[in-house]
Structure 1
């Protein structure tokens, strides 16, 4: 075990940024389940480096980015971020042995994130160096989501590679304390008020629940994450996006929202979209958490899935435009609606595209559209994690992977059992693959997806491709 001493150019205390406020509330709602918000990350060591030079590079990152030397605390005036000018980070050193070093690093990163951060006294990152034959090969991290989002992690990866090459980086000019200050000045308050009004227009009269049916006896564990790896999914989404001149995110969102609406037995899907919120040039390379949730509404058209994708694209743009707000003001509005309607609307359905690029550059050749369906024979589904108490009814995540489409779905099994979650993922794939070769009427979606409305009892037509390897 080693210590890395670090120092920066300033210290200070400031209110939380809007992005930090969103995560602060989530941390306190989740309690022990806040480990869901930990961000595991691996930085490979490029070239033949010794341990000293690797730790020196880590020291540079800690000095550059104030969020990595920040603690968070509640005060009578509200939660604050406290930036330390200097300090020490403890780093474990782990020998990979006969295992692949990156695999060991990935496992270590996951393990480091399984303990909740003590945000008031602990730096928002944990680190281990994986060595093989005495030479460092990778760094394994767990970051608190209060300090980083996935765009920030990609910035750290780019800087890490550049620093190892010996490049001089320009100073990191914009930091979370700067962001917190500017969010108190116009036009930010007006922007927040506009977003709150939009959310209010949806929540004031919309459904109070994600699903109409009451909870059933939950499975054990109650909250599970089902994953799917599908080259067919990625190939179809990429081709449809090119055909319809939209992003693959819009295509995947449309398919997930359609399946969710079908299972809920409603003509409308209401979901929260995790949005990067980095339209301001100053935040594009800021290491901090800027992500916020947008409110997405999709009224299923009576025509076909192509029209649904176009409607989803428009709906996503509306959600993104209204995803920059003070979470404390947003929560006050939701509580006011709760007092008027008897309780707050349940918004525990989410979609998150974690990819940094909207394509899959490593996809294998797939041949003509008619052949893509054969790729679905190799699709794999599996249970990846169990999350105690995360409170999500349905949470779709598109995972970064170059060579295959990875889509996961966290469900509360009191509302959607595991086999329904698997059927929903298979249904997303089936819908996209079918849309490649024919127009899919919305009336045909249950048959194409192999799943219909769920009311607490199993009522599926059997997931498409039943019998594939799990």
Structure 2
């Protein structure tokens, strides 16, 4: 980005209100993760880009940036310690320095993505800097795209969707009244009345699950991991997407539940646990108020599934679908209180409770709208033939990832199921990572043709069970009080 001609302009804003409030539970969850990474680490920052619709001049685009800042308090919030802990400080007025990048004959969105990565590549000064950075990309003498670097404390995937819709409306001059629910309102809601009651129900649900769950899914001796230790491998499979959608309709569940339960079954085969516990990343936006909140709302839900010895994948998925819905309903809670409860239960049970298996469905619409048609529809042989198109790639590797031993993550592809597995190679060697991803495809493609017995999954998918001590639950990864969320995807796709 430094080799591009650029200048800066100042956008001044004045919103309807400012103020100080405690962190929302969503903000507190992100703050804990951000603090765990340490100062100077931009891991949870989000690069994001938006197109400039129509033939707008620079002043018009900067005017929309100003209105976004004025309408959404989260974009003008600092985070500072107070007497009762971290607080959100909403500035009523202020200024944002916006870069103007001259792109020559570059592709606007491609260049904007490059600029956005640069904006998100440096840590934010949470106490003194707005949680958003911005640059307008000029091509052909007019603005064509806008690049953002956002702190995860300002937004999650669902919030990006809302901002994208607001951006489009503001550019068209048809925006309605400003949002009626802001993070300061959410903080109050969580501490009194229905919000506090909902948090109490979530707390009781978590306690009940953690009293029954294995102390660790990965209670077997670790090997020597790779350097860097954590690897993320991606698979793009048309066959998996088509199979998941066929099975979701057939079994009366969602495609997310099909993938979640299949993940749990494969982890059960690998680890030897018939009782599987995973965390699910919940958007927390089914409540009408929170649904319109521009700010982080996503938190972890806890999912517990008992796999019957003589069960089948179909019946297990129907049960798992109900369990997943229960987990998502109980994913709004005070995170520090939950951490304390986990530590207390760990002491009672003889060691930390490790919850380092995850499923994170980051798709916005819940399906893949551009999957190819299969003729005849749902034909097992035609779906199996699609496995020839499947591709794999290494997405990245890191030395430290907070508490993730195995995290299945859906990607943003619309014409195939993009599925990633982020793994600790000390517990899941790279060969096992590939086997689990391919096993997911093999299992669901076969399930289109026949109802697969659970005791046949290991042989069908080529999964070799890990060797673990016969005494049972000795926690392996040892991240009992952590939460292992990856950065939410960009552009505007909810988690």
TM-score class, shorter: over 0.9
Tell whether the 8 Å contact from 2:343 to 2:353 is kept in structure 1 after alignment: no
Change over 3 Å in CA distance of 1:96–1:376 after alignment to 2: farther
**Which ranges in structure 1 are unaligned for 5 or more consecutive residues?**
457-470
- Alignment correspondent of 2:426: 414
User: Aligned ranges for residues 30-45 of structure 1 at < 5 Å?
Assistant: 30-31=37-38, 35-45=42-52
Change over 3 Å in CA distance of 1:31–1:96 after alignment to 2: same
User: Aligned ranges for residues 180-329 of structure 1 at < 5 Å?
Assistant: 180-301=187-308, 302-329=310-337
- Alignment correspondent of 2:78: 71
Do structure 1's residue 428 and structure 2's residue 455 form an aligned pair? no
- Alignment correspondent of 2:353: 345
How far 1:205 moved relative to its partner?
4.6
The Cα RMSD (Å) is: 1.9
- Alignment correspondent of 1:112: 119
* CA distance in 1 between partners of 2:276 and 2:233 (Å): 21
Normalising by structure 2, we get a TM-score of 0.88
Moved more, 363-372 or 375-384: 363-372
How far 1:83 moved relative to its partner?
0.3
Moved more, 244-253 or 87-96: 87-96
Indicate the structure whose relative CO is greater, using CA pairs within 8 Å and at least 6 residues apart. Answer: 2
Do structure 1's residue 102 and structure 2's residue 122 form an aligned pair? no
How far 1:279 moved relative to its partner?
2.7
CA deviation digits over 1:260-291, x for unaligned, max 9?
A: 22222221221111111123211211101111
Change over 3 Å in CA distance of 1:397–1:111 after alignment to 2: farther
- Alignment correspondent of 2:131: 124
SS at match of 2:62: helix
- Alignment correspondent of 1:466: none
SS at match of 1:37: coil
- Alignment correspondent of 2:21: 14
How far 1:99 moved relative to its partner?
4.4
Do structure 1's residue 373 and structure 2's residue 384 form an aligned pair? yes
Tell whether the 8 Å contact from 1:33 to 1:387 is kept in structure 2 after alignment: no
- Alignment correspondent of 1:92: 99
CA deviation digits over 1:230-271, x for unaligned, max 9?
A: 111111111111111211111111111212222222212211
SS at match of 1:74: strand
How far 1:34 moved relative to its partner?
5.5
Moved more, 68-77 or 97-106: 97-106
Do structure 1's residue 49 and structure 2's residue 56 form an aligned pair? yes
CA deviation digits over 1:166-192, x for unaligned, max 9?
A: 213212111000111121112333322
SS at match of 1:347: coil
Normalising by structure 1, we get a TM-score of 0.92
* CA distance in 1 between partners of 2:282 and 2:155 (Å): 14
Tell whether the 8 Å contact from 1:355 to 1:400 is kept in structure 2 after alignment: yes
* CA distance in 2 between partners of 1:400 and 1:100 (Å): 21
SS at match of 2:158: helix
- Alignment correspondent of 2:340: 332
Tell whether the 8 Å contact from 1:275 to 1:323 is kept in structure 2 after alignment: yes
* CA distance in 1 between partners of 2:28 and 2:107 (Å): 39
- Alignment correspondent of 1:462: none
Q: Tell me the matched-pair count.
A: 456
How far 1:445 moved relative to its partner?
0.9
Change over 3 Å in CA distance of 1:403–1:95 after alignment to 2: farther
* CA distance in 1 between partners of 2:290 and 2:35 (Å): 26
How far 1:453 moved relative to its partner?
1.4
